[in-house]
């Protein structure tokens, strides 16, 4: 794992935006795995400002709430179009998001997996992290080899979503999410986490044991995972000084 600690969310997002820009430069038909949430908003803003060519890019989003229509203001479809896709030259048919209204959910999830395979797999998967250590919507006790499927949200995650939904009874219980195994097959992974309320989950994921109780801890088994943090999200890391030193003294060939 490479742990990158920057002073602010903007600086951390800049590092990640450069990583994506380099990928799209090297591989104009790259396949990106995308995430939602407050964490990725500054990154998406920076990507829009970079005016990259997205005409040959394909994207697969991690997850969606079951029961919400794409037009629902809190759906991840709405989030993605509002914050990113509408500002890019990406083709509508190159954008994949799980369908929260699928009727046969297991069959739909198998199809989603098949679409990722047909696209050649994910080159770079973006991730946020839940305060309970989830990635995508893989809640604690998710199988670490799981595939795209329906999951039930924990009360902690539902409470975290109250600000956007306006009340806990409005937050859906069920979601469709890429599995932990699906995520781990991405050739590159960048997990972003900002703010003190993510510090415990980050420390558990990065410096704790690998456990299904903290699904993000499986990233320790990924050959190239990058964990991109602002300073507050890094406050509980025991080896933070070491990570800072490593980043500041990287040989030029390893910079991105
Ligand atoms: C949801 C998403 C995750 C995201 C998390 C963090 O749970 N399914 O993919 O990482 O929110 O959200 P935020 O960035 O708003 O803290």
Pairing of strands 58-61, 63-65: unpaired
DSSP string, 220-249: GGSTT-EEEEETGGGTT-TTHHHHHHHHHT
pLDDT of residue 114: 98
pTM reported for the whole predicted model: 0.96
What distance in Å separates the CA atoms of residue 155 and residue 114, rounded to the nearest whole number?
Answer: 31
pLDDT of residue 251: 80
pLDDT of residue 256: 64
Measured by CA distance, the residue closest to atom 1 of ligand 1 is 37
Pocket of ligand 1 (CB under 6 A): 35-39, 62-63, 128-130, 136-137, 157
pLDDT of residue 250: 85
Spans of the chain, pLDDT less than 50: none
Q: Which atom of ligand 1 is nearest to the CA of 195?
A: 16
Pocket residue to mutate for ligand 1, from 130, 182, 195, most atoms within 8 A of Cβ: 130
State the catalytic residues. 63, 132, 134, 139
Measured by CA distance, the residue closest to atom 12 of ligand 1 is 37
Q: Which atom of ligand 1 is nearest to the CA of 177?
A: 8
Joined tokens for residue 168: 């806990």
Measured by CA distance, the residue closest to atom 10 of ligand 1 is 128
Pocket residue to mutate for ligand 1, from 134, 171, 205, most atoms within 8 A of Cβ: 134
Q: What is the DSSP letter of 131?
A: T
Ligand 1 centroid to 89 CA: how many Å?
Answer: 25
Ligand 1 centroid to 130 CA: how many Å?
Answer: 6
pLDDT of residue 255: 67
Residue 132: CB atoms within 10 Å: 20
Pocket residue to mutate for ligand 1, from 13, 39, 132, 176, most atoms within 8 A of Cβ: 39
pLDDT of residue 75: 97
Q: Which atom of ligand 1 is nearest to the CA of 128?
A: 10
What distance in Å separates the CA atoms of residue 6 and residue 9, rounded to the nearest whole number?
Answer: 7
- What are the pLDDT digits (tens) for 109-132? 999 999 999 999 999 999 999 999
């Amino acid at each position: 794992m490479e742990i990158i600690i920057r002073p602010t969310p903007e600086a951390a997002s800049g590092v990640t935006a450069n990583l994506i820009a380099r990928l799209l430069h090297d591989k104009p038909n790259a396949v990106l795995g995308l995430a939602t949430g407050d964490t990725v908003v500054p990154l998406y803003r920076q990507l829009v400002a970079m005016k990259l060519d997205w005409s040959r890019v394909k994207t697969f989003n991690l997850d969606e709430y079951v029961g919400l229509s794409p037009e629902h203001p809190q759906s991840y479809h709405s989030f993605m179009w509002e914050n990113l896709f509408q500002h890019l030259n990406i083709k509508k048919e190159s954008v994949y998001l799980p369908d929260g209204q699928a009727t046969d959910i297991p069959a739909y999830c198998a199809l989603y997996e098949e679409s990722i395979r047909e696209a050649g797999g994910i080159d770079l998967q973006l991730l946020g992290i839940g305060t309970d250590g989830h990635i995508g919507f893989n809640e604690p006790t998710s199988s670490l080899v799981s595939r795209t499927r329906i999951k039930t949200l924990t009360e902690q995650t539902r409470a975290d979503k109250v600000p956007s939904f306006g009340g806990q009874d409005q937050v859906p219980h069920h979601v469709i999410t890429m599995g932990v195994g699906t995520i781990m097959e991405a050739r590159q992974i960048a997990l972003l986490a900002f703010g003190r309320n993510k510090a415990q989950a980050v420390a558990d994921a990065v410096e704790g044991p690998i456990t299904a109780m903290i699904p993000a801890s499986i990233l320790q088994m990924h050959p190239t995972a990058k964990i991109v943090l602002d300073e507050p999200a890094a406050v509980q890391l025991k080896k933070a000084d070491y990570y800072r030193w490593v980043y500041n003294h990287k040989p030029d060939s390893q910079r991105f």
